[in-house]
Structure 1
Amino acid sequence: MGKHFSHLTPTQRTQIDAFRRAGMKVVDIAKEVGVHYTTIYRELKRCTYEHLNSDYTTEIRYNPDGAQARYEANLRAKGPELKIGNDYELADYLIGKIRDEKYSPEAAIGEAEVMGWPFRVHICASTAYNYIRGEIFGDDLTVEMLPQHGKRRRKPERPEGAIPRKPAGKSIEKRPEIVNTRTTFGHWEMDSLESGKGYKRTWLMLTERKTRREIIVSMKDKTSESVVRALNGIERKLGALFPRIFLSITCDNGTEFSDAEGIENKRRGKGKRTTVYYCHPYTPSERGTNENQNGLIRRLVPKGTDLGTLSPQEVKAAEAWLNSYPRKMFGFLCSEQLFREELALILAR
């Protein structure tokens, strides 16, 4: 995702007014202005009013000047002691990153630090959280817009009477200890992200344990054949690099991962391309990296979404969002940067 201020400027508000008067649709206005269409919907909902014409008829109008004044007043309303003061660029940045790009306040602040903090006022993540809870940004940025906003994912429980499925291949207990340290590049976790009930389209989610680099492949269904086909597609792109980048893959005992031989063996010719290890039943913590990534991606595609409605470009955009997300564990650098560094080392050998 690009580093830009996503909140509406006075110029953009004037453009919205002109395009709306010209009869343009909201989606088309959003494209012209350069923001997401939901931003336009929210803006019009907040800042339209009923106007009385000279012939006593009424019409709904949008007030761009009033909208901007209201936004700036929100920042001034808490008094001169407010640290953010009138640094509207910082406010725009936070609103854009947290509301529109689905960042946490900590990630937004961390990325700004990596950028060299291009704002007049300096605040920390806890201050940003307090501003949001204190409704400093009004309707532009609320607690409900925060990732998870207090919700916690429940730990899955074994269904009553369920019999654990026998691993299709090597148990995680046989996985080399070096993999646990995350000091060696090329060890991946694999999971599937399902569509809502009644839909078949599934995403294969592959996470590299050291860099947290993600690969997402859209599959027509949640079957072992589709998983092997997806891995074959990745091997086709990487060629001889595949065995050097995919030293191992760890997954759960889902039926979609039951073809251990198909996962491990090269798509053409003889020989292995990787080694697959299977977690203990009902132990997602053994794929903790994968689970965290899935939680992040749900900010973009909430549970219940029919993944089949998303275009290949949207799937790639979701993958790019994950890989460009600032990571606290890496000093708020992103996975894509670290992955490219590791790849450069492999190519230099």
Structure 2
Amino acid sequence: MVDNGFSPAAALKAIEADEEEYRTNICESTLYNYIYRGDVFLILSPEHLREKGKRHSEKHPGREKKAARTPRGENIEHRPDEINGREAFGHWEMDCVVGAAGSKRTLLVLTERLTRTGIIMPMRDHTTASVIRALNRPERKYGKNFRELFKSITVDNGSEFADCAGMEKSCRRKGKRTKLYYCHPYSAHERGSNENMNRMIRWFFPKGTNFDEVTGKDIQRAEDWINSYHRRVLGWRSADTAMRECLAQAD
């Protein structure tokens, strides 16, 4: 928990997954109690817990705002139930994590809805052209398999995602490479998995980070950690494990 940033629950599940054996076994609630008691562990303390309380979203009925611009693509209301219900692999959510004021580089973050697999790609600036160039990278990497791995991508109404046709267009052949859906304005919960991944990224790169000074190795380290983290929502599997299982079933 201290060295790798695991939550108490994730640490216990990692022990189970690695089949490590100890003379004493404790449950999650007992571990939390020991941490907050402060007289059990030499180093571990409540300060090492990254999330110290339950997350909640504040809702204001009747105060819905309108989008600053009309979405250039299909609204999320038309997204098939298969995607909404997380029933199939290959449907992603996408957003940007920006750096400190004055820094140009931005992170493009993709999260697969079923497995929560994350991809973090640095971009040289926060523009539509950079988003398209970033999406070209995995398409060139996966070639003809890209369309099966990235069947759809859900985004918000940010200016960097205004070029729907450009993001959907294949850089390898004629036609589309994926399908874009746009969330309702000011509805971050419609990209919930993506928002959660953004929070995890901020553990590595807090607000105010200058991404001009962050290396590719630093970004890859964050991505690897996030994808290897044991998650309750995945039955305490990691996103890497869930992804491998989905790909194995597809074969």
| Shorter-chain TM band | over 0.9
Picking from 136, 144, 147, the partner of 2:47 is 144
Q: Classify the secondary structure of the residue corresponding to 2:186.
A: coil
- The letter for the 1-side match of 2:111 is T
On the 8 A contact 2:93/2:155 being kept in 1, the answer is: yes
Structure 1 unaligned spans of 5+? 1-97
For residues 265 and 344 of structure 1, the distance between their equivalents in structure 2, rounded to whole angstroms, comes to 28
Question: Residue 270 of structure 1 aligns with which residue?
Answer: 174
Aligned length: 249
Alignment of 1:1-349 (within 5 A): 98-137=1-40, 140-150=43-53, 152=55, 164-346=68-250, 348=251
Letter aligned with residue 12 of structure 2: I
TM-score by structure 2 length?
0.92
Residues 251 and 144 of structure 1, relative CA distance in 2, 3 Å threshold: same
Distance 1:275 1:121, change over 3 A: same
CA deviations on 1:286-312 (whole Å, 9 max, x unpaired) are 001101111122222211111222211
Q: Quick one: distance in 1 between partners of 2:76 and 2:181?
A: 5
Q: Which residue identity does 1:108 align to in structure 2?
A: A
Give the whole-Å Cα distance in 2 for the aligned partners of 1:161 and 1:324: 37
Choose 1 or 2 for highest CA Rg: 1
Shift in alpha-carbon separation, 1:160–1:266, aligned structure 2, 3 A: closer
Cα separation, 1, equivalents of 2:67 and 2:131:
24
Task: Look up the equivalent residue of 2:14 and give its one-letter code.
Answer: E
Bigger RCO (CA 8 Å, 6+ sep): 2
Task: Spell out, residue by residue over 1:179-200, the C-alpha distance to the aligned partner (whole angstroms, 9 max, x if none).
Answer: 0111111000001111122222
Write the distance in 1 (CA, Å) between the matches of 2:249 and 2:13: 27
Detail structure 1 runs of 4+ shifted over 4 Å in the superposition: 151-157, 159-163
Superposed CA offset, 1:237-269 (max 9, x none): 010010011110000000111110111110133
Taking structure 1 as the reference length, the TM-score comes to 0.67
Q: Deviations over 1:17-47 (max 9, x none)?
A: xxxxxxxxxxxxxxxxxxxxxxxxxxxxxxx
Q: C-alpha deviations, 1:119-163, integer Å up to 9, x for none? A: 111011111111111113556111122113237476599x99975
Q: 1:153 to 1:296 in 2, by over 3 A?
A: farther
The verdict on how the C-alpha distance between 1:335 and 1:163 changes in structure 2, with shifts beyond 3 A counting, is: closer
Q: What one-letter code is carried by the residue in structure 1 that aligns with 2:52? A: H
Structure 1 residues 163 and 234, CA gap change in structure 2 (3 angstroms): closer
Label 1:160 to 1:252 Cα distance change in 2 as closer, same or farther (>3 A). Answer: closer
CA contact (8 A) 1:325 1:334 kept: yes
- In structure 2, distance between residues paired with 1:246 and 1:301: 26
Q: Contact conserved, 1:188 with 1:246, CA < 8 A, in 2?
A: yes
Report the CA distance between 1:331 and its aligned residue. 2.5
CA contact (8 A) 1:156 1:282 kept: no
Going from structure 1 to structure 2, the CA distance change for 1:152 and 1:316 (only over 3 Å counts) comes to same
Matches of 2:57 and 2:39, distance apart in 1 = 31
Structure 1 residues 187 and 288 mapped into 2: Cα distance closer, same or farther (>3 Å)?
Answer: same
Q: Deviations over 1:105-127 (max 9, x none)?
A: 11111111222242111011111
Tell me the SS of whatever aligns to 1:287: helix
Answer whether contact 1:102 1:300 (CA < 8 A) is retained.
Answer: no
| 1:318 partner amino acid | A
Residues 156 and 345 from structure 1, CA distance in 2 versus in 1: closer, same or farther, beyond 3 angstroms? same
Runs (5+) with no aligned partner, structure 2: none
